[in-house]
Structure 1
Amino acid sequence: MSRLDPQWFLRLVRGEIHNPAAAVARLGLGAVAVGYGAAVRARNLAYDRGWKPASRARVPVISVGNLTLGGTGKTPMVEWLARRYRREGWRVALISRGYGHEGGINDEGLVLEENLNDVPHLQDPDRVKLAEIAVEELEAELILLDDGFQHRRLARDVDLVMLDALDPFGLDRLFPRGLLREPVSSLRRASAVILSRADTIDAAAVEAIRRRVERAAPGIPFIRTRHAPIDLLDAEGPAGPIGDLAGKHVLAFCGIGNPMGFRRTLEPLCELGDLEVFPDHHPYGAGDVAELTEWARRGGADLVLTTQKDFVKLRTSTLGAVPLRALRIGLEITEGLESLEQVLGKVPRPAPCG
């Protein structure tokens, strides 16, 4: 399809583009990364030493964040936590910055609203203000802070950091030369490290990641998870079973931070052909739908699949004559649940008012 390849930056920083201009660009990005790294370290030092104080909410805060740019599975983790605390009767509120939204809630927020209809979700760059609103107006007993590891202005009781098994350490380079938002050594601030998509790599690779985490943050709990397919969402009818994919020729598209993770989730489920990649948080328009419809027709697809994050912005059950469905996934903890529960068990429930 005729658009700029959204993976171009990744190919550049990974060294997959080989020409003099690309080499010069990587040198320039490396120089910028030095300045970026100095700024990140100075900011973290200011919070670590108390020179920049963090504001503490009147109820416990659990942050779910990551070290790298791109998708690491934060949204399924936030959903897992919300369900866990709701089962125990806590009043939970979600707060996030809301990347990619224009005057309303963004795509990730729409997914959480759809899957957690009894948990309010507030979005604004000022997370401290949102925490006050959650307590004052929504009577929240617990705040879940989505994408909060770098947002140190709001203090938290638990800091969960997600690592994606397919690229846990962001090419081992700080942005923009790599994908790290801050150094790996920052894991020492975390309460636990959660490896997403651990089932997509072998045991030796998982162990290598665990050892690297242990060197950065000795003794930190290391939790393994997988993205577990739940069902197939239909914009005009009930959800269908995953088994409906068996034997079908499927094309897929997505606009998420980690499209390779989506591919890895789909491959065991169906006969997967092309995966069309859009930029993260892509705002689909009529032109995109027309192009996707023609692409599905040319590809001879029995079915087109996308992510729930993309589906909430499209809300159509077909692309021309081809059915369109969204794969809904959930987080499944495959190892370390007891360790995670020990971390979460330290969160005190606020005393009732009055």
Structure 2
Amino acid sequence: MVRRSGRGACGGRPRACRRRGERRRGRGHIGGDPRRPRAAGEVVVSERSARLAARLWDGEGARLALARLALAPASALYAGVVLARNAAYRTGLVRTRRVGARTVSIGNLRIGGSGKTPLTRWLAAEAQARGIAVAIISRGYGGTTAAPHVVGDGATLRSDVAASGDEAVMLARTAAVPVVAGHDRAAAAALAVETFGSRLLLCDDAFQHRRLARDVDIVLVDAGQRGGVTRLLPAGPLREPLAALRRAHVIVVAERDAAGATQSVPASRPDQLVVRARFAPTALLRVGPHAWEELGLAALAGQRVLALSGVARPRPLYESLRDWEADLVHILEYPDHHPYDIADWHEISHAAKDVEFVVTTEKDLVKLERFPFARGKLVALRLGVTIDNPTALLARVLGPLAADVLAGVAAAGAQRPWHERPPERGP
């Protein structure tokens, strides 16, 4: 866990941070009492590695440049494995599996969040509004249940974070469509078709998962990302070379501020669709007696806030708090997918004593809502998306399903009494 307060804590150097002096870091413990004994190799190593990786990938300076150079051979080896794997799928040496439904993957090339979850939710809502049976497929990262299983049926949550992971449960809580998880995504997709009769499958964070055949690949690219980031893991943040963008049918350029993008991404092949999308908070979510409740973002203005996150890239959280004029006085950062425990609860509760809100992400809210402080100060930023060309994007995603919907609407209209039918248009 990284503990910060003061200058530079939120990236944008808001007034509240500037007046509190220099930033302080914690001692690298996960939470609670840093003196409590830990087994060898406990999460502390992963946490420290995550912080070092973030500095290595995005930092500047001669030492970091030399570190990246030293890791170049490992990145070259990783690139060879990735290229060989992709070639095996491209040539048919390794076969893919189809499951009898239109399949769309939503992913990215870079480690960390880029808006995949809000985009997946938006596509699910648009498909459902058109009468298409849609389901979301997740790997269930961090969950103990590897076998395919139903996380939520669109109305009822059927699993929990321990079994299915935070991302799958968050999707089941916030998207009104079935969510199915499993380490074998092809088997999870088959279960969705069998159980819910799904005709459209949206596979979250699945661009690199090649075994499940798909009809459309969507890749998100961060508009604010430095154009020079081309290094693969472990020397850089990329899962695949930039050339893999040619495999995508749709590229979504993700913007996170009203000023617009700083990077333009041209289509890499004639039939590739490029659209822009703006991601921004739409509401605060708080824990209610029976369900999550929405609260207006204006409630943050002038309020003392603790920012709490366990995600790979927390900076957008801090920027959003700055935009809504919150008085950001404390920051607690945990590793991505962090499993919060009682020691963390004590740590967070202590830090939250002098604030009005503890603001976190939706992914963290599903893990934190069980703690006592959740009913008082805990809220999460709900992230929404606006697409600049939604018609073109939906046409590409839905494909022939869109024609089926129009045909169904026309057939239903023809069966109505004459006085309820829409007027016919002339030639």
TM-score (normalizing by structure 1): 0.87
Work out which of the residue numbers 243, 259, 263 in structure 1 matches 2:298. 243
- What's the Cα RMSD here? 2.6
Any stretches of 5+ residues in structure 2 without a counterpart? 1-25, 29-46, 146-162, 406-427
Q: Distance in 2 between matches of 1:133 and 1:219?
A: 32
Q: Which stretch has the larger CA shift, 24-33 or 190-199? A: 24-33
Over 6 Å off, 4+ runs: 349-352
1:128 deviates by 1.3
Instruction: Give the aligned partner of residue 88 of structure 2.
Output: 46
Work out which of the residue numbers 74, 78, 81 in structure 1 matches 2:123. 81
- The one-letter code sitting in structure 2 at the alignment partner of 1:281 is H
Q: Which stretch has the larger CA shift, 2-11 or 100-109? A: 2-11
1:140 deviates by 1.2
User: Is the aligned partner of 1:11 residue 2:55?
Assistant: yes
For the 8 Å contact 2:288–2:375, the answer to whether it is kept is: no
Instruction: Give the aligned partner of residue 258 of structure 1.
Output: 313
Q: 1:236 to 1:322 in 2, by over 3 A?
A: closer
- The one-letter code sitting in structure 1 at the alignment partner of 2:245 is L
The SS at the match of 1:253 is strand
Instruction: Give the aligned partner of residue 111 of structure 2.
Output: 69
Q: Distance in 1 between matches of 2:312 and 2:220?
A: 14
For the 8 Å contact 2:56–2:236, the answer to whether it is kept is: no
For the 8 Å contact 1:100–1:281, the answer to whether it is kept is: yes
User: Is the aligned partner of 1:121 residue 2:146?
Assistant: no
- The one-letter code sitting in structure 1 at the alignment partner of 2:344 is D
The SS at the match of 1:256 is coil
1:43 deviates by 1.2
Q: Distance in 2 between matches of 1:342 and 1:90?
A: 13
Q: 1:252 to 1:166 in 2, by over 3 A?
A: same
For the 8 Å contact 1:170–1:180, the answer to whether it is kept is: no
Per-residue deviation, residues 35-75 of structure 1 (Å, max 9, x unmatched): 10011111111222222221122111011111111111111
Q: Distance in 2 between matches of 1:200 and 1:7?
A: 29
- The one-letter code sitting in structure 1 at the alignment partner of 2:142 is G
Q: Distance in 2 between matches of 1:169 and 1:49?
A: 31
Q: Distance in 2 between matches of 1:2 and 1:121?
A: 39
For the 8 Å contact 1:166–1:201, the answer to whether it is kept is: no
User: Is the aligned partner of 1:35 residue 2:77?
Assistant: yes
Q: Distance in 1 between matches of 2:228 and 2:337?
A: 20
Instruction: Give the aligned partner of residue 272 of structure 1.
Output: 328
Q: Which residues in structure 2 correspond to 1:100-115 (within 5 Å)?
A: 100-103=142-145, 104-115=163-174
For the 8 Å contact 1:169–1:180, the answer to whether it is kept is: no
Instruction: Give the aligned partner of residue 102 of structure 2.
Output: 60
For the 8 Å contact 2:249–2:271, the answer to whether it is kept is: no
For the 8 Å contact 1:169–1:184, the answer to whether it is kept is: no
1:336 deviates by 2.5
The SS at the match of 1:145 is strand
Per-residue deviation, residues 141-178 of structure 1 (Å, max 9, x unmatched): 11111111111111111111112233376821011110
For the 8 Å contact 1:30–1:177, the answer to whether it is kept is: yes
Instruction: Give the aligned partner of residue 304 of structure 1.
Output: 358
For the 8 Å contact 1:157–1:347, the answer to whether it is kept is: no
Aligned residues: 340
Q: Distance in 2 between matches of 1:101 and 1:165?
A: 31
Q: Distance in 2 between matches of 1:247 and 1:351?
A: 51
Any stretches of 5+ residues in structure 1 without a counterpart? none
Q: Distance in 2 between matches of 1:52 and 1:159?
A: 19
Q: Distance in 2 between matches of 1:59 and 1:168?
A: 37
Work out which of the residue numbers 379, 382, 387 in structure 2 matches 1:328. 382
Q: 1:350 to 1:123 in 2, by over 3 A?
A: farther
The SS at the match of 1:137 is helix
The SS at the match of 1:156 is coil
Q: Distance in 1 between matches of 2:247 and 2:374?
A: 50
Q: Distance in 2 between matches of 1:129 and 1:315?
A: 31
Q: 1:149 to 1:234 in 2, by over 3 A?
A: same
For the 8 Å contact 1:318–1:324, the answer to whether it is kept is: no
Q: Distance in 1 between matches of 2:205 and 2:377?
A: 33
- Larger C-alpha radius of gyration, 1 or 2? 2
User: Is the aligned partner of 1:340 residue 2:382?
Assistant: no
For the 8 Å contact 2:135–2:202, the answer to whether it is kept is: yes
Identity %: 37
- The one-letter code sitting in structure 2 at the alignment partner of 1:225 is A
Q: Distance in 1 between matches of 2:175 and 2:211?
A: 27
Q: 1:116 to 1:196 in 2, by over 3 A?
A: same
Per-residue deviation, residues 231-277 of structure 1 (Å, max 9, x unmatched): 22221353221111122122211111221122222221123333322
1:347 deviates by 4.1
Q: Which residues in structure 2 correspond to 1:228-239 (within 5 Å)?
A: 228-236=280-288, 238-239=293-294
For the 8 Å contact 2:287–2:374, the answer to whether it is kept is: no
- The one-letter code sitting in structure 2 at the alignment partner of 1:182 is E
- The one-letter code sitting in structure 1 at the alignment partner of 2:313 is N
Work out which of the residue numbers 367, 374, 380 in structure 2 matches 1:313. 367
Work out which of the residue numbers 227, 251, 275 in structure 2 matches 1:193. 251
Q: 1:321 to 1:312 in 2, by over 3 A?
A: closer
Per-residue deviation, residues 118-158 of structure 1 (Å, max 9, x unmatched): x2211112111112211122211111111111111111111
Q: Which residues in structure 2 correspond to 1:156-195 (within 5 Å)?
A: 156-167=214-225, 171-195=229-253
